[in-house]
Amino acid sequence: MNPLPDEAAKLPVRSVYQLSAIGGVLATLRLIAGRRVRFPRGHVGGLVTLPDGRTYRIFREVVIDPRPGQPDVPGAIFIPRFHVRGMSPRRNIAFSWLPAMLIIGLPGLRSKRWLIHDETGDFAGLYEWDTVADAKRYESSSAMDFMRNRSFPASVSSRVLRRDEWTGLGAALAAAPAGRHHVGSRR
């Protein structure tokens, strides 16, 4: 029985190599060499209010330009939240560059925004994936296990949504200057 939605069957077969740590770094380096990875600064410093009403500051953003055959618009959103144990928020922001090199090259990732709640030190991510199946693969990956293991257990949560389940997401994340952006509400 396939635990992923029916759309998983439509995806090309992904090799184990692509999903390994070494494969992730090599895929990231290929994307960088091909000039498909961008770190835009337009949203950095901006505030994103997620549907639950919590507001986070964007401290980093990466966008991966699609290759031929990828959907024009990503079809899924993934939002993990967590509070790191044993590391200050400032240190975790610096540390977060290391796993970034592992995940940027993962199949289906189109963008990620790193978020922090400045009052609580909680972290969140706002990922865009080609498909719900891609997002669910990441949600159950060793990268997420690593995040769970270094966080307070009660602080960890994640959501995978189809892009069309959120209203206002595209407008909130369009190339806008840093400032307050509301990420819509669930339909």
Cα 106 from Cα 14, distance rounded (Å) = 10
Would 135 be classed as within a structural domain? Answer: yes
Whole-number Cα distances in Å, 54 to 18, 77, 148: 34, 17, 21
- In this structure, the strands spanning 180-182 and 123-129 are unpaired
CATH number at residue 48: 3.30.70.100
Would 54 be classed as within a structural domain? Answer: yes
**Model pLDDT, residue 186:** 36
| Confidence tier at 177 by pLDDT (50, 70, 90) | very low
**pTM for this one?**
0.79
Structure tokens belonging to residue 43:
């949203």
Length of the chain: 187
Residue type, 175: A
Task: Judge whether residue 85 has pLDDT over 90.
Answer: yes
| Confidence tier at 116 by pLDDT (50, 70, 90) | very high
pLDDT in tens, 38-68: 999 888 998 887 767 788 999 999 999 988 8
Please report where in the chains the tokens 């293991």 appear, as a residue. 149
Residue type, 158: S
Would 118 be classed as within a structural domain? Answer: yes
Q: How many CB atoms lie within 10 A of CB 142?
A: 12
Task: Judge whether residue 35 has pLDDT over 60.
Answer: yes
pLDDT in tens, 6-24: 444 344 434 433 456 777 7
Task: Judge whether residue 167 has pLDDT over 90.
Answer: no
Residues 10 and 16 sit within 8 Å (Cβ to Cβ): no
Would 161 be classed as within a structural domain? Answer: yes
Structure tokens belonging to residue 65:
């330009």
Closest by CA to 181, choosing from 72, 66, 34, 56, is 56
Would 23 be classed as within a structural domain? Answer: no
Instruction: Return the SS3 of 66.
Output: coil
Total domain count, the chain? 1
Residues 30 and 17 sit within 8 Å (Cβ to Cβ): no
Outline where 75-184 has alpha helix (H): 89-95, 97-103, 132-139, 142-149, 169-173
User: Mean pLDDT in the chain?
Assistant: 78
Q: Residue 125's domain spans which residues?
A: 36-175
